[in-house]
Homo-oligomer: A and B are copies of this chain.
Amino acid sequence: MNTATTATLVNHQVRLAARPRGLPAAGDWQFTEEPVGEAPEGGLLVKVLALSLDPAMRGWMNEGRSYIAPVGIGEVMRAGGVGVVVASNDAAFAVGDKVSGTPGVQEYWRVDAAQVKRSGLARIDTRLGSLTQWLNVLGMPGMTAYFGLMEVGQPKPGETLLVSGAAGAVGQTVGQLARIKGLRAVGIAGGPAKCEWVVNELGFDACIDYKQPAPAGVERWDAVREGLKKHCGNGVDIYFDNVGGDILDAALARLNRKARVVICGAISQYNATGATPGPKNYLSLLVNRARMEGMVVFDYADRYPQAVAELAGYLKDGRLKSREDVVQGTVRDFPATLLKLFSGGNFGKLVLEIARE
């Protein structure tokens, strides 16, 4: 395909129409189409193959100061993704190259010369991992797991790591990497299928099913608390938090001396319509001289190649596994697919595949 043929193509897009209150609803989205046009001077045209669906997207839809500017009303929804170069006016990229970046929820991504430098667009090597693995363990979730654990968590062999969202994109890599580094890894996930997979396939030492119903005859039941008693009897040295809310509080109550709490996300709160309560057990930080620290993966961008190389090595030698929940469809399936994240309906890294090469 060359630039001459792309001019006749149509680009289907999903734009943010309104700021959601609570869960994003149909009216918050707008479907648009426009001509693809030609590759910009010095730039690229990328055909998007698969989009990354992330809990963080919910935050990007809100107004207000955060670690990244909100998506503007009327703008194409921000999304990470992988694609293939279909037209190139940049000598560094050839037609057919696979790339990852932040194309947004659309079928074609026009990247002008300036953007190539600052959009995080990068060629990817599919010998190191599949396209969907490049959205998972070799992509943002993997980078988040790697730097969150290694830099903020400061793992030491023999320690106990606890991670919530253990079957999710970030959690699966956090626990496996902790095991590789010589720690005990305990996960928290929703439902027996996810928990079994986390233990039997990924090799976590244990996984707590936060949805486990109360045993017969037990009135006051807190599945996480009971699970922590059983599986973290010697306390928690690192808690990697993807969920916030009650689970964060339960973990705080089990911290060991000098424990580290990595604040990576708080999916339980992203769709709250009122004020959400804070972690009422935060004084456990004082009692235990412990630390709670936030992290944003972009801060480590210049070290992604090093982390990718290490994680790809573990993938290759079989010590690291990954699971993607791939939904096949079109960009129009984006709104409904995104909601799976917030119901816990996804199993593994959620990906929307919108095209084949």
Contact = CB atoms under 8 A, between A and B. Distances in A.
Interface of A: 65-67, 244, 249, 263-266, 269, 275-296, 299
Contact of A292 (B289, B292, B299): B292
Contact of A294 (B264, B269, B288, B293): B288
Copies of this protein chain in the complex = 2
A243 B52 CA distance: 42
11 contacts: A67-B287, A249-B278, A263-B286, A277-B278, A278-B281, A278-B282, A285-B293, A285-B294, A286-B296, A289-B295, A289-B299
Given A275-B280, A290-B293, 10 more contacts: A66-B287, A67-B289, A266-B283, A276-B280, A277-B277, A285-B294, A286-B294, A289-B293, A289-B294, A291-B293
Contacts of A296: 286-287, 289
A278 B65 CA distance: 22
A292 B259 CA distance: 12
Contacts of A264: 286
Contacts of A249: 278
A176 B226 CA distance: 46
A295 to B, nearest CB: 6
B295 A293 contact: no
A249 B276 CA distance: 12
Given A249-B278, A277-B277, A278-B277, A287 B283 contact: no
